[in-house]
Amino acid sequence: MDIKQEYLSAAYPESAKKAAGGNVRAVFANPLAQIALVGVVLALVQFLALGGMISSAFAYALGNTLIYAIVAIGFCLLLGYSGLASLGTAGFIGLGSYVAFYLIEGMGAPYYVALFVTLAVSIALGVIVGFISLRIEGIYLAIMTLALAEIIRSLLMVLKATIKININNIVLFGVNVNEKAVYLLITATFIILMALTSNLIRSPVGRAMLAMKDSTSAAQAMGISLMKYRLLAFVISTIYAAMGGLLYMMYVRNMTTATSTLLTLSTSLNILGAVIIGGAKSLWGTTFGTFIIYGLQSMFLSKIRFFVENPAFITMITGLLIIVVVMFFPGGFAQMLSSLRLWLRRKRVERRIRDYVGNES
């Protein structure tokens, strides 16, 4: 370099400025921007399906999976952040479904009223379970929530044999909704809840929950009230589950309480499995896990003849996948990804150290 130029830049250094390309990357590093982007893509799927470019069965399956993803995000906060295991998810979903159904179909209430009441009921339920969690912990708590789900299931079976709704009666934003509109409603709910959760886990609340999960005594010594955050965790997860139930009721529209698998232990276990294999501390991981458990079959494998003829194989593969992932990657796919990233980073560091030392000797 020219000595004059070098002197000028040495004596009068320019203040550090960000590279132009960094701005775009910074925007995409923002979690909210990522969520918004995914939301746009999800909405686009429905429009493409309307245009006939994607099969409507695919879009329908996607919407169905997203419902479970909503439930799973709430569960992620409960399990991954607060360290509370629950097997009552199915019951919470079922209650949301039933309350909304009863209000809309049974009492002819408008959608917003149904939504509001469902939220209120699920908050009450969350508070109850939260109080239980203050007395009982660990697997005991899981089994107690299982009992609670059984209570709800028995209740629903007694109250109503079939939950069947005519969605054309529902008016949203002044329009009578149809299946496509419900899909968009699901997407919107998913995106909003995802954004709220993402904010929450990056706030004092998320940190308090992590501290509580790690050591209840240390958390209390730091001034974190177990009652407040356990109740909060359960309230959030029941709200999300109830929202899932409400959307399920509007999307699937027909459910027989005695035979529906939605209300049984298997749903709770599937949600748990989705969160675990995706990575209990990662929202995207959880979403991915839901797609593995619920979406893989309905969206992709249903196109392959072999799996259509032998659906049992898919169940087996899911089971095997869960076993293998948990055995070798207890943190799920998210951990797999982050350990890969860490490995690459260490390789790079190693190379840089070699370069640094190597050029000298």
Partner 1 sequence: MCVTALAAFAVTIIFRTSTTANFAQGAISAFGCYVVADLLNKKGVPVYLGVFGGILVGVAIGVFIDLLVFRKGRHVNELGKQIITMGFVSLFFGGIPLIFGTPERIPFEAFYNTVKAKTSPNFVIPAMGGEIVITKHALICLGITVVILAVLFLLLKFSKWGLGVRATASSEFTAELMGIDTHVITAISWALACGLGVLAAVMYAGGGTSISAGFMTTIQVNAFLACILGGFSTFYGPVIGAVLIPLAASCVGFLANFKGFYGISRWQMVIVYVLLLIAILIKPEGLFGKKTVKKV
Partner 2 sequence: MSATRAERRLLEKARRLRIEIGMLEAARELQIEKAAAKKAARSAERARAAGRELAEKSFEKLGADEIRRAITEKRLREENERYAALRKEILLSGYLLSDKDNEALADAHTARLERIRENTAAELSELSNPAQGQLPIPTVDEPEETSSAEAIRARFDEQISQARKRLREVERRLESGAASTERTELEEGLVLSVKELKMYFGGVKAVDGLSFDVREGEIFGLIGPNGAGKTTVFNCITQFYKPTGGKLLFRGRENEVLDLTKEKVHDVILHGIVRTFQNVEVVPELTVLENLLIAGHRQYSSGIAASALHLPKLRREEEIIRRKAEKVLQFMGLTAFSGAYAFGLPYGILKKIEIARTLMCSPRLIILDEPAAGLNDAETAELASLIRRIRDEYRCTILLVEHDMGLVMDVCDRICAISFGKLLAFGTPEEIQTDPNVQQAYLGVEEDDDGTA
Beta carbon of residue 316, minimum distance to partner 1 (angstroms, whole number) = 3
Q: Give the residue, chosen from 43, 157, 224, 269, that forms a contact with partner 2 under the rule CB under 8 A.
A: 224
131 part of the interface to partner 2, by CB under 8 A: no
Give the interface segment with partner 1, choosing from 114-122, 240-248, 250-258, 306-314 (CB under 8 A). Answer: 306-314
Residue 312: name its binding partner from partner 2, partner 1, none (Cβ under 5 to 8 Å by kind): partner 1
> Using CA atoms, how far apart are residues 166 and 168, in angstroms rounded to an integer?
6
> Using CA atoms, how far apart are residues 72 and 29, in angstroms rounded to an integer?
23
| Owner of token pair 């005519």 | 166
Q: Give the residue, chosen from 310, 339, 340, 343, that forms a contact with partner 1 under the rule CB under 8 A.
A: 310
Give the interface segment with partner 1, choosing from 23-31, 32-40, 150-158, 252-260 (CB under 8 A). Answer: 150-158
Residue 310: name its binding partner from partner 2, partner 1, none (Cβ under 5 to 8 Å by kind): partner 1
Beta carbon of residue 276, minimum distance to partner 2 (angstroms, whole number) = 16
Q: How many residues line the site for partner 2 (CB under 8 A)?
A: 52
Residue 53: name its binding partner from partner 2, partner 1, none (Cβ under 5 to 8 Å by kind): none
Residue 350: name its binding partner from partner 1, partner 2, none (Cβ under 5 to 8 Å by kind): partner 2
Strand pairing category for 162-164 and 171-172: unpaired
Beta carbon of residue 343, minimum distance to partner 1 (angstroms, whole number) = 19
Strand pairing category for 171-172 and 254-256: unpaired
Query: What is the Rg, in whole angstroms, of the alpha carbon atoms belonging to the chain?
Result: 24
176 part of the interface to partner 1, by CB under 8 A: no
Binding-residue pattern over the window 211 to 250 for partner 1, x denoting contact by CB under 8 A: ------x---------------------------------
Tell me phi and psi for residue 256, to 5 degrees: -100, 120
3-state SS class at 83: coil
> Using CA atoms, how far apart are residues 361 and 358, in angstroms rounded to an integer?
6
Residue 269: name its binding partner from partner 2, partner 1, none (Cβ under 5 to 8 Å by kind): partner 1
120 part of the interface to partner 2, by CB under 8 A: no
Q: Which is nearer to partner 2, 10 or 175 (CB)?
A: 10
Within 8 A by CB and 6+ apart from 7, the residues are none
State both tokens at 29: 């590093």
Q: Give the residue, chosen from 20, 223, 309, 327, that forms a contact with partner 2 under the rule CB under 8 A.
A: 223
Beta carbon of residue 163, minimum distance to partner 2 (angstroms, whole number) = 31
Distances (CA, A) of 244 to 68, 95, 119, 300, 355: 7, 10, 11, 23, 54
Label residue 280 exposed, middle or buried (CB < 10 Å: 0-12, 13-18, 19+): buried
Identify residues 203-222 at the interface with partner 2 (CB under 8 A): 203-208, 210-211, 214-215, 217-222
CA atoms within 13 A on the CB side of 101: 29
Sign of CA dihedral 54, 60, 63, 68: negative
Identify residues 115-134 at the interface with partner 1 (CB under 8 A): 132
Residue type, 96: G
Distances (CA, A) of 203 to 98, 207, 208, 237: 33, 7, 9, 17
Q: What is the DSSP letter of 262?
A: G
Residue numbers of the site for partner 1 (CB under 8 A)?
79, 85, 132, 135-136, 138-140, 142-144, 146-148, 150-151, 154-155, 158, 217, 264-266, 269, 272-273, 276, 310, 312-323, 326-327, 330
